[in-house]
Amino acid sequence: MPNQVPNTSAVIGSGTMGPGIALMMARSGSAVYLMDIDEKALQRAREGVQMASNVLKSSGELTEASAHQALGRIHFTTSLSEAVKSADFISEAVPEKLELKQKVFSEMEALVSSDTILSSNTSGIPISKLQEGRSRPERIVGMHWSNPPHIIPVIEIIRGDHTADQTVETTRNYALAMNQVPVVEHEIPGFVENRILYAIMREALHLAETGVASMEDIDATIRWGIGMKLAVIGPLALLDVAGLDIYHSVASYLNQELCSDTGISRLVEEKVTQKNLGFKTGKGLFDYAPGEIPELMRARVATLLKLRQELMKADV
Ligand SMILES: NC(=O)c1ccc[n+]([C@@H]2O[C@H](COP(=O)([O-])OP(=O)(O)OC[C@H]3O[C@@H](n4cnc5c(N)ncnc54)[C@H](O)[C@@H]3O)[C@@H](O)[C@H]2O)c1
């Protein structure tokens, strides 16, 4: 693969994740086929890639000309065969259902050339399950983008039982060529990012339920305290800064106080029963004024973009 960028890529499934992934691939110089079985989803994806490119233009990461070029490299299709037949690299982003993904992998295998890499954006299905029954499981790999894929740099690359080192390396190099931050993992439920996020969410929900602080103050503690630090230094590197002896003495009494519930938070159970699901229903753990949700989304994207630019510039 010259310059580590495949000549042709395909993204299968153009829902929430597909358009941003397709834009990042096209931006790196690859021709991209964005495929969906649903013509309406594909229509929304045309707007999706345009919106994602507008976001990158607003942050100065794409110019008018480079955005135009990237968008020109994306082809939309409802034909799996057209999408994958000349692809060197595929990102599968269909809904998180094992049988559906297995069917798509089986169909793709029959259409692609022998050295095409087949990656899955699954959030949690073991890659080894997608390798079962495939004739060339060594070229199947997890490539888990974080949402929104054109804004959040990390990409978890997950080895299944049969993934070849070369497959991992090619996937990693492609992520680097897209200016993303690849991390390589063995498969484990939730992968690394969600395991840590869910540990934080469990403790935050537990503290909210006990009433020790308001939900606003719990979130503020994380955003303006550990969250800010963690954007610059990971928790393991932070341990060296704090001193392992300090961690040892605090952890000796604090670890046993932390929430270790294996069930779901009572607070979340209540809200789900009431059908207060968050942004999608206009009310969740927090209440939102009319018109507030789109404005919050816009402001958060703008802040994330600025933060990403600063973090990418920093070399710490
Ligand atoms: N949404 C997120 O925040 C997020 C983050 C990381 C990973 N993921 C993972 O990415 C994958 C896709 O998630 P999403 O949120 O984009 O899903 P989505 O439901 O928004 O979109 C999936 C798209 O796949 C299409 N589709 C269904 N069957 C298909 C088929 N056989 N061939 C081609 N297209 C088909 C659907 O029409 C739909 O447009 C899932 O595995 C999910 O777990 C999602």
pLDDT per position as a tens digit, 208-244: 999 999 999 999 999 999 999 999 999 999 999 999 9
Ligand 1 pocket list (CB less than 6 A) = 12-18, 35-38, 41, 93-96, 100, 104, 121-123, 144-145, 147
What's the CA gap between 146 and 125, in Å, rounded? 15
Give the model's pLDDT for residue 257: 98
Q: Is residue 7 predicted with pLDDT exceeding 80?
A: yes
Q: Are 92 and 104 in contact (CB under 8 A)?
A: yes
CATH number of 194-313: 1.10.1040.10
Q: Are 144 and 123 in contact (CB under 8 A)?
A: yes
Q: Are 122 and 144 in contact (CB under 8 A)?
A: yes
Residue 145: phi and psi, rounded to 5, are -85, 150
Residue whose Cα lies nearest atom 25 of ligand 1: it is 13
Beta-bridge partners for 313: none
Give the model's pLDDT for residue 1: 47
**Which pair of tokens denotes residue 290?**
């009319």
- Residue of 12, 40, 77, 94 to mutate, ligand 1, most atoms within 8 A of C-beta: 94
Mean pLDDT for the stretch of residues 130-144: 98
- Residue of 123, 145, 152 to mutate, ligand 1, most atoms within 8 A of C-beta: 123
The amino acid at 295: E
Give the model's pLDDT for residue 2: 42
Instruction: Give the position of tokens 């510039």.
Output: 313
Domain boundaries, the chain: 2-189, 194-313
Q: Could you tell me the CA-to-CA distances from 74 to 7, 49, 152, 222 in Å, in that order?
A: 12, 9, 21, 39
Average pLDDT, the chain: 96
Q: How big is the chain by its Cα radius of gyration, in Å?
A: 21
**Which pair of tokens denotes residue 291?**
């018109």
Q: How far is CA 132 from the centre of its chain?
A: 24
Looking at the structure, give the CATH architecture of the domain made up of residues 2-189.
3-Layer(aba) Sandwich (3.40)
Q: Are 134 and 114 in contact (CB under 8 A)?
A: no
**Which pair of tokens denotes residue 96?**
């998180």
Mean pLDDT for the stretch of residues 76-97: 98
